[in-house]
Amino acid sequence: MADHPSERQLPHRRSFRFTQAITRRPAKSVSHGLREGAGPDPDAALFGEQHRAYVAALEKAGAEVVELPELEEFPDSVFVEDTTICIGDTAIVVRPGAPSRFGECEQICPTLKTRFTKVIDLPGDGFLDGGDVLLSDDTAFIGNSGRTNMAGLVALATLLKPLGYNPVQVNTPADILHFKTECGLLDERTIFATVKLASLGCFEGFRVIETPLGEEAAANIVRYNDVVFLSAGYPKSEALLREKGYDVVILDTSEAAKVDGGLSCMSLRF
């Protein structure tokens, strides 16, 4: 794997050393999932197949996966990442910013209570989607976005400081749904990010590997233990990450992408 001198001073690697994950099977109603554009609906059966491959990849990477059943009343509920921020023995249940997703947190809470010692609600009345939060070992990048407002951002930042994170506020460009739509963690000091996001200057102090131009949708990666999940169809990104020493696992996310979802959105990792 790629190595960075500062890795040796950071014992935890809590940003990608995990043992567990929570996923939720896509419902048939995912064909009505939220999206910005007017593209085709996802095929629920194909989404189900791709999701099974995603869960299998998590298991192969070392995860014990809790697979929750589909929730037809919540078309976007496959994107569990938006409901919760997981840190050690603490789960912070957040407040997704899209009205059709408000009820998803209540649905995942009973499972969180079986896995985490502390399950706490985001204080206040702000909104925050988990897709707007990128955690390294010591830094929490929180994107202000169409889904995450300042009240939500500040409430999370306040909770994260005592947990050892330096919160960094990022103003996500208006045409990007979630902050992590265009970036992901490769290791505790390295971020894979689009040129557009990297040019904001928000990743100061981190090594940034820029997503090849034309492959911006590849930026939403997942690092789980020793492997990096990358969406299929981005050969330049695959070659670049392999050249940098990462063990890349390719997963087809064509159906999630039709409803603005990606690799990170489909699991909670802890």
Q: Estimate to the nearest angstrom the gap between the alpha carbon of 248 and the chain centroid.
A: 17
Is the Cβ of residue 30 or residue 159 nearer to ligand GLY in the bound state? 30
Is 202 annotated as catalytic? Answer: no
Query: What gap in Å lies between CA 16 and CA 260, rounded to an integer?
Result: 24
Strands (E) located in the chain: 20-24, 64-68, 84-87, 90-93, 118-121, 133-135, 139-144, 166-171, 183-187, 190-193, 207-210, 222-224, 227-231, 247-251, 268-269
The least CB distance from residue 146 to ligand GLY, in Å, is: 9
Is the Cβ of residue 61 or residue 257 nearer to ligand GLY in the bound state? 257
The β-bridge partners of 145 are none
Strands 183-187, 166-171: pairing is unpaired
Is the Cβ of residue 41 or residue 125 nearer to ligand GLY in the bound state? 41
The least CB distance from residue 192 to ligand GLY, in Å, is: 21
Name the active-site residue from 105, 178, 183, 202: 178
Is 51 annotated as catalytic? Answer: no
Is the Cβ of residue 101 or residue 223 nearer to ligand GLY in the bound state? 101
Is residue 195 classed exposed, middle or buried when 0-12, 13-18 and 19+ CB atoms within 10 A define those classes?
A: middle
The least CB distance from residue 101 to ligand GLY, in Å, is: 6
The least CB distance from residue 33 to ligand GLY, in Å, is: 4
Query: What gap in Å lies between CA 109 and CA 98, rounded to an integer?
Result: 18
Query: What gap in Å lies between CA 110 and CA 53, rounded to an integer?
Result: 25
- Contact between 270 and 42 under an 8 Å Cβ cutoff? The reply is no
List residues near ligand GLY by CB under 6 A.
Answer: 33-35, 76, 79, 98, 259-261
Is the Cβ of residue 108 or residue 240 nearer to ligand GLY in the bound state? 108
The least CB distance from residue 71 to ligand GLY, in Å, is: 14
Active site residues: 178, 265
